[in-house]
Protein backbone atom coordinates (compact mmCIF):
# COMPACT_ATOMS: atom_id res chain seq x y z
CA UNK A 1 0.00 0.00 0.00
CA UNK A 2 1.19 3.47 -0.86
CA UNK A 3 0.90 7.00 0.40
CA UNK A 4 -0.99 8.98 -2.22
CA UNK A 5 -1.58 12.70 -2.58
CA UNK A 6 -4.96 13.36 -4.19
CA UNK A 7 -5.70 16.85 -5.50
CA UNK A 8 -9.19 17.77 -6.69
CA UNK A 9 -11.93 16.15 -4.60
CA UNK A 10 -15.06 17.11 -6.55
CA UNK A 11 -17.88 14.89 -7.82
CA UNK A 12 -15.36 12.63 -9.51
CA UNK A 13 -12.18 13.04 -7.48
CA UNK A 14 -13.92 12.70 -4.09
CA UNK A 15 -15.28 9.19 -4.58
CA UNK A 16 -12.14 8.12 -6.46
CA UNK A 17 -9.98 9.11 -3.50
CA UNK A 18 -12.41 7.45 -1.11
CA UNK A 19 -12.04 4.19 -3.01
CA UNK A 20 -8.28 4.38 -2.53
CA UNK A 21 -8.77 4.85 1.20
CA UNK A 22 -11.15 1.90 1.24
CA UNK A 23 -8.53 -0.16 -0.60
CA UNK A 24 -6.01 0.44 2.15
CA UNK A 25 -3.90 3.29 0.80
CA UNK A 26 -2.91 6.28 2.88
CA UNK A 27 -4.45 9.26 1.15
CA UNK A 28 -3.62 12.93 1.68
CA UNK A 29 -6.33 15.00 0.03
CA UNK A 30 -6.65 18.62 -0.99
CA UNK A 31 -9.36 20.67 -2.64
CA UNK A 32 -10.13 24.40 -2.76
CA UNK A 33 -13.46 23.52 -1.15
CA UNK A 34 -13.01 22.85 2.58
CA UNK A 35 -16.26 20.94 2.46
CA UNK A 36 -14.85 18.53 -0.13
CA UNK A 37 -11.77 17.98 2.02
CA UNK A 38 -13.97 17.37 5.06
CA UNK A 39 -15.97 14.73 3.19
CA UNK A 40 -12.80 12.83 2.38
CA UNK A 41 -11.35 13.06 5.89
CA UNK A 42 -14.69 11.67 7.08
CA UNK A 43 -13.92 8.69 4.86
CA UNK A 44 -10.56 8.17 6.57
CA UNK A 45 -8.09 10.30 4.62
CA UNK A 46 -5.79 13.01 5.87
CA UNK A 47 -7.00 16.49 4.89
CA UNK A 48 -4.45 19.01 3.71
CA UNK A 49 -4.42 22.79 3.53
CA UNK A 50 -2.63 23.02 0.19
CA UNK A 51 -1.71 21.00 -2.87
CA UNK A 52 1.90 21.15 -1.78
CA UNK A 53 1.07 19.62 1.58
CA UNK A 54 -0.98 16.87 -0.08
CA UNK A 55 1.92 16.05 -2.37
CA UNK A 56 4.51 16.05 0.36
CA UNK A 57 6.05 12.75 1.38
CA UNK A 58 4.03 10.64 -1.04
CA UNK A 59 4.93 8.02 -3.64
CA UNK A 60 2.10 8.96 -5.96
CA UNK A 61 0.22 12.18 -6.78
CA UNK A 62 -3.17 11.97 -8.48
CA UNK A 63 -4.91 15.09 -9.79
CA UNK A 64 -8.49 15.46 -10.99
CA UNK A 65 -9.13 19.01 -12.17
CA UNK A 66 -11.61 20.77 -14.46
CA UNK A 67 -9.43 22.24 -17.22
CA UNK A 68 -5.98 22.55 -18.70
CA UNK A 69 -5.18 25.81 -16.96
CA UNK A 70 -5.76 24.25 -13.54
CA UNK A 71 -3.38 21.42 -14.41
CA UNK A 72 -0.74 23.90 -15.53
CA UNK A 73 -1.21 25.95 -12.39
CA UNK A 74 -0.94 22.88 -10.18
CA UNK A 75 2.26 21.48 -11.65
CA UNK A 76 4.12 24.30 -13.39
CA UNK A 77 5.74 27.53 -12.33
CA UNK A 78 7.69 28.49 -9.25
CA UNK A 79 4.89 27.48 -6.88
CA UNK A 80 3.99 24.33 -8.82
CA UNK A 81 4.34 20.78 -7.60
CA UNK A 82 7.14 19.99 -10.04
CA UNK A 83 9.28 22.40 -8.11
CA UNK A 84 8.57 20.75 -4.79
CA UNK A 85 7.78 17.03 -5.06
CA UNK A 86 10.46 14.44 -4.51
CA UNK A 87 12.24 13.13 -7.56
CA UNK A 88 10.74 9.87 -8.71
CA UNK A 89 7.23 10.62 -7.45
CA UNK A 90 4.71 9.08 -9.86
CA UNK A 91 2.33 11.73 -11.18
CA UNK A 92 -1.08 10.71 -12.47
CA UNK A 93 -3.32 13.34 -13.99
CA UNK A 94 -6.89 12.09 -14.40
CA UNK A 95 -8.28 15.42 -15.59
CA UNK A 96 -9.86 15.52 -19.05
CA UNK A 97 -7.93 18.27 -20.84
CA UNK A 98 -6.33 18.92 -24.20
CA UNK A 99 -3.48 16.61 -25.14
CA UNK A 100 -1.06 19.45 -25.87
CA UNK A 101 -1.22 20.69 -22.29
CA UNK A 102 -0.81 17.11 -21.10
CA UNK A 103 2.25 16.62 -23.27
CA UNK A 104 3.81 19.91 -22.17
CA UNK A 105 3.35 19.23 -18.47
CA UNK A 106 4.54 15.63 -18.84
CA UNK A 107 7.70 16.80 -20.62
CA UNK A 108 8.41 19.20 -17.79
CA UNK A 109 7.74 16.51 -15.22
CA UNK A 110 10.21 14.30 -17.01
CA UNK A 111 12.84 17.04 -16.73
CA UNK A 112 12.03 17.33 -13.05
CA UNK A 113 12.69 13.60 -12.67
CA UNK A 114 9.09 12.56 -12.12
CA UNK A 115 7.36 10.07 -14.40
CA UNK A 116 3.94 11.40 -15.36
CA UNK A 117 0.99 9.69 -17.00
CA UNK A 118 -2.37 11.00 -18.20
CA UNK A 119 -5.30 8.87 -17.12
CA UNK A 120 -8.63 10.50 -17.96
CA UNK A 121 -11.69 8.45 -17.13
CA UNK A 122 -15.08 7.60 -18.45
CA UNK A 123 -17.97 6.27 -16.43
CA UNK A 124 -19.26 9.39 -14.72
CA UNK A 125 -20.04 9.97 -11.05
CA UNK A 126 -21.78 6.63 -10.76
CA UNK A 127 -18.68 4.89 -12.11
CA UNK A 128 -16.44 6.86 -9.75
CA UNK A 129 -18.53 5.91 -6.72
CA UNK A 130 -18.78 2.26 -7.69
CA UNK A 131 -15.08 2.01 -8.52
CA UNK A 132 -16.01 1.08 -12.08
CA UNK A 133 -14.35 3.80 -14.12
CA UNK A 134 -12.54 3.18 -17.38
CA UNK A 135 -9.06 4.71 -17.54
CA UNK A 136 -7.54 5.66 -20.87
CA UNK A 137 -3.88 6.09 -20.17
CA UNK A 138 -0.95 7.78 -21.89
CA UNK A 139 2.70 7.51 -20.85
CA UNK A 140 5.74 5.25 -20.73
CA UNK A 141 5.06 1.59 -20.03
CA UNK A 142 6.98 1.56 -16.73
CA UNK A 143 4.96 4.22 -14.91
CA UNK A 144 1.72 3.01 -16.51
CA UNK A 145 2.28 -0.47 -15.10
CA UNK A 146 3.29 1.03 -11.76
CA UNK A 147 0.01 2.96 -11.67
CA UNK A 148 -2.17 0.08 -12.85
CA UNK A 149 -2.94 -1.54 -9.46
CA UNK A 150 -3.89 1.85 -8.06
CA UNK A 151 -6.11 2.65 -11.05
CA UNK A 152 -7.66 -0.82 -10.83
CA UNK A 153 -8.86 0.07 -7.35
CA UNK A 154 -10.90 2.93 -8.83
CA UNK A 155 -11.96 1.37 -12.10
CA UNK A 156 -12.89 -1.72 -14.02
CA UNK A 157 -10.56 -1.31 -16.99
CA UNK A 158 -7.25 0.39 -17.75
CA UNK A 159 -6.31 0.89 -21.39
CA UNK A 160 -2.78 1.95 -22.31
CA UNK A 161 -3.28 4.04 -25.44
CA UNK A 162 0.30 5.17 -26.15
CA UNK A 163 2.82 7.77 -24.99
CA UNK A 164 2.11 10.94 -22.97
CA UNK A 165 -1.12 12.56 -24.10
CA UNK A 166 -2.46 9.39 -25.70
CA UNK A 167 -4.93 8.87 -22.88
CA UNK A 168 -6.42 12.28 -23.57
CA UNK A 169 -6.56 11.60 -27.30
CA UNK A 170 -8.24 8.23 -26.84
CA UNK A 171 -10.87 9.70 -24.55
CA UNK A 172 -11.49 12.65 -26.87
CA UNK A 173 -11.91 10.37 -29.90
CA UNK A 174 -14.08 7.92 -27.99
CA UNK A 175 -16.38 10.61 -26.66
CA UNK A 176 -16.72 12.29 -30.04
CA UNK A 177 -17.79 8.93 -31.43
CA UNK A 178 -20.15 8.47 -28.48
CA UNK A 179 -21.83 11.81 -29.16
CA UNK A 180 -22.24 10.86 -32.81
CA UNK A 181 -23.68 7.49 -31.81
CA UNK A 182 -26.13 9.10 -29.42
CA UNK A 183 -27.40 11.61 -31.98
CA UNK A 184 -27.48 9.05 -34.78
CA UNK A 185 -29.37 6.55 -32.64
CA UNK A 186 -31.83 9.27 -31.67
CA UNK A 187 -32.39 10.18 -35.32
CA UNK A 188 -33.02 6.56 -36.26
CA UNK A 189 -35.49 6.04 -33.42
CA UNK A 190 -37.32 9.29 -34.17
CA UNK A 191 -37.60 8.41 -37.84
CA UNK A 192 -38.81 4.91 -37.02
CA UNK A 193 -41.49 6.28 -34.70
CA UNK A 194 -42.63 8.73 -37.38
CA UNK A 195 -43.02 5.73 -39.68
CA UNK A 196 -45.12 3.87 -37.13
CA UNK A 197 -42.58 1.65 -35.37
CA UNK A 198 -42.38 0.98 -31.67
CA UNK A 199 -39.16 2.53 -30.28
CA UNK A 200 -38.41 -0.54 -28.16
CA UNK A 201 -38.91 -3.02 -31.01
CA UNK A 202 -36.85 -0.95 -33.41
CA UNK A 203 -34.09 -0.45 -30.85
CA UNK A 204 -33.82 -4.17 -30.20
CA UNK A 205 -33.56 -4.93 -33.91
CA UNK A 206 -30.86 -2.32 -34.49
CA UNK A 207 -28.99 -3.47 -31.39
CA UNK A 208 -28.63 -6.93 -32.90
CA UNK A 209 -27.90 -5.67 -36.41
CA UNK A 210 -25.23 -3.60 -38.09
CA UNK A 211 -26.51 -0.42 -36.41
CA UNK A 212 -25.65 -1.86 -33.00
CA UNK A 213 -23.70 0.30 -30.55
CA UNK A 214 -23.05 0.97 -26.86
CA UNK A 215 -25.96 3.39 -26.70
CA UNK A 216 -28.41 0.74 -27.86
CA UNK A 217 -26.85 -1.82 -25.52
CA UNK A 218 -27.61 0.05 -22.34
CA UNK A 219 -28.16 3.77 -22.68
CA UNK A 220 -31.15 4.08 -25.01
CA UNK A 221 -32.24 7.73 -25.32
CA UNK A 222 -35.95 6.96 -25.63
CA UNK A 223 -37.86 6.77 -22.35
CA UNK A 224 -39.95 3.80 -23.48
CA UNK A 225 -37.18 1.64 -24.86
CA UNK A 226 -35.23 0.38 -21.86
CA UNK A 227 -35.31 0.35 -18.07
CA UNK A 228 -32.69 1.92 -15.84
CA UNK A 229 -31.47 4.50 -18.31
CA UNK A 230 -31.25 8.25 -17.69
CA UNK A 231 -34.05 8.53 -20.27
CA UNK A 232 -36.29 6.39 -18.09
CA UNK A 233 -35.86 8.80 -15.17
CA UNK A 234 -36.27 12.15 -16.89
CA UNK A 235 -32.69 12.46 -18.14
CA UNK A 236 -31.29 12.83 -14.63
CA UNK A 237 -28.03 11.26 -13.53
CA UNK A 238 -25.73 9.99 -16.23
CA UNK A 239 -23.40 12.20 -18.24
CA UNK A 240 -24.44 15.81 -18.55
CA UNK A 241 -24.92 17.64 -21.84
CA UNK A 242 -22.48 20.37 -20.72
CA UNK A 243 -19.76 17.79 -20.04
CA UNK A 244 -20.26 16.16 -23.42
CA UNK A 245 -20.05 19.61 -24.98
CA UNK A 246 -16.73 20.20 -23.23
CA UNK A 247 -15.32 16.96 -24.65
CA UNK A 248 -16.58 17.80 -28.14
CA UNK A 249 -14.83 21.15 -27.81
CA UNK A 250 -11.53 19.42 -27.11
CA UNK A 251 -12.02 17.21 -30.15
CA UNK A 252 -12.84 20.18 -32.37
CA UNK A 253 -9.79 22.11 -31.16
CA UNK A 254 -7.63 19.15 -32.06
CA UNK A 255 -9.28 18.74 -35.47
CA UNK A 256 -8.71 22.44 -36.20
CA UNK A 257 -5.09 22.29 -35.11
CA UNK A 258 -4.47 19.13 -37.14
CA UNK A 259 -6.39 20.28 -40.20
CA UNK A 260 -8.63 17.22 -40.12
CA UNK A 261 -12.20 16.92 -41.40
CA UNK A 262 -14.66 15.65 -38.80
CA UNK A 263 -17.99 16.48 -40.42
CA UNK A 264 -20.23 14.52 -38.07
CA UNK A 265 -18.16 15.49 -35.03
CA UNK A 266 -18.49 19.18 -35.92
CA UNK A 267 -22.23 18.87 -36.44
CA UNK A 268 -22.56 16.96 -33.15
CA UNK A 269 -20.78 19.85 -31.43
CA UNK A 270 -23.24 22.30 -33.06
CA UNK A 271 -26.21 20.23 -31.91
CA UNK A 272 -24.98 19.94 -28.33
CA UNK A 273 -24.17 23.66 -28.32
CA UNK A 274 -27.76 24.46 -29.26
CA UNK A 275 -29.17 21.89 -26.83
CA UNK A 276 -27.05 23.40 -24.07
CA UNK A 277 -27.99 26.95 -25.07
CA UNK A 278 -31.66 25.97 -24.75
CA UNK A 279 -31.03 25.41 -21.05
CA UNK A 280 -30.37 21.67 -21.00
CA UNK A 281 -26.72 21.58 -19.95
CA UNK A 282 -27.56 19.76 -16.73
CA UNK A 283 -29.63 17.04 -18.40
CA UNK A 284 -28.12 13.74 -19.40
CA UNK A 285 -26.67 13.91 -22.91
CA UNK A 286 -29.20 11.35 -24.18
CA UNK A 287 -31.84 14.08 -23.86
CA UNK A 288 -30.65 15.26 -27.27
CA UNK A 289 -33.39 13.01 -28.66
CA UNK A 290 -35.87 15.57 -27.34
CA UNK A 291 -34.01 18.41 -29.05
CA UNK A 292 -34.27 16.54 -32.34
CA UNK A 293 -37.99 16.05 -31.79
CA UNK A 294 -39.07 19.55 -30.86
CA UNK A 295 -36.09 21.79 -31.44
CA UNK A 296 -35.45 22.88 -27.89
CA UNK A 297 -39.01 23.78 -26.99
CA UNK A 298 -39.51 22.76 -23.37
CA UNK A 299 -41.66 19.66 -22.97
CA UNK A 300 -44.76 19.99 -20.82
Judged by CB under 8 A, the chain residues 154 through 183 that form the site for a copy of itself are: 157, 159, 161-163, 165-166, 169-170, 172-178, 180-181, 183
**In the complex, minimum distance from the CB of residue 199 to a copy of itself, in angstroms, rounded to a whole number:** 10
* C-beta closer to a copy of itself: residue 62 or 164: 164
Decide if residue 204 touches a copy of itself (CB under 8 A): yes
Decide if residue 195 touches a copy of itself (CB under 8 A): yes
Other Cβ atoms closer than 10 A to 57:
13
**In the complex, minimum distance from the CB of residue 125 to a copy of itself, in angstroms, rounded to a whole number:** 15
**In the complex, minimum distance from the CB of residue 147 to a copy of itself, in angstroms, rounded to a whole number:** 17
Q: Which of 82, 55, 79, 66 is nearest to 8 (CA)?
A: 66
Judged by CB under 8 A, the chain residues 105 through 144 that form the site for a copy of itself are: 122, 134, 136
**In the complex, minimum distance from the CB of residue 219 to a copy of itself, in angstroms, rounded to a whole number:** 8
Stretch that binds a copy of itself, among 46-54, 55-63, 76-84, 208-216 (CB under 8 A): 208-216
The site for a copy of itself, by CB under 8 A, has a size of 87
Residues 6+ apart with CB under 8 A from 218: 226, 229
Catalytic: 171?
Answer: yes
Decide if residue 289 touches a copy of itself (CB under 8 A): no
Decide if residue 237 touches a copy of itself (CB under 8 A): no
Judged by CB under 8 A, the chain residues 49 through 68 that form the site for a copy of itself are: none
- Would the CA dihedral through 38, 42, 48, 51 be positive or negative? negative
Decide if residue 210 touches a copy of itself (CB under 8 A): yes
Q: How far apart (Å, rounded) are the C-alpha atoms in residues 133 and 156?
A: 6
Decide if residue 279 touches a copy of itself (CB under 8 A): yes
According to the 3-state scheme, what is the secondary structure of 22-67? HCCCEEEEECCCHHHHHHHHHCCCEECCCHHHHCCCCCEEEECCCC
Find the angle CA(72)-CA(173)-CA(20) to the nearest 5 degrees: 55
Which of 88, 194, 227, 299 is close enough to bind a copy of itself by CB under 8 A? Answer: 194
Burial class (CB in 10 A: 0-12, 13-18, 19+), 139: buried
Stretch that binds a copy of itself, among 5-13, 67-75, 228-236, 251-259 (CB under 8 A): 251-259
* C-beta closer to a copy of itself: residue 43 or 274: 274
Decide if residue 81 touches a copy of itself (CB under 8 A): no
Backbone angles phi, psi at 156, to 5 degrees: -110, -5
**In the complex, minimum distance from the CB of residue 86 to a copy of itself, in angstroms, rounded to a whole number:** 30
Task: Give the CA distances from residue 52 to residues 13, 26, 71, 105, in Å, rounded to whole numbers and listed in that order.
Answer: 17, 16, 14, 17
State the catalytic residue, choosing from 22, 69, 171, 283.
Answer: 171
* C-beta closer to a copy of itself: residue 52 or 221: 221
Q: How far apart (Å, rounded) are the C-alpha atoms in residues 120 and 13?
A: 11
* C-beta closer to a copy of itself: residue 232 or 293: 293
Burial class (CB in 10 A: 0-12, 13-18, 19+), 202: buried
Catalytic residues, which ones?
A: 171
Amino acid sequence: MATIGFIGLGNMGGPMAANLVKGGHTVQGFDLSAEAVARLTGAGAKGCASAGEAASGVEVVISMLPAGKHVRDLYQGSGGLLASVAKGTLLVDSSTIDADTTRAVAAEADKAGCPMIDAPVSGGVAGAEAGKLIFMVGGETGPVEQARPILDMMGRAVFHAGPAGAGQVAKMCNNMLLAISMIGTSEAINLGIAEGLDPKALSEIMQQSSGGNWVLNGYNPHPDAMDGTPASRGYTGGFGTALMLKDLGLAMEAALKDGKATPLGALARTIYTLHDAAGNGHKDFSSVIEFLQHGGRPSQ
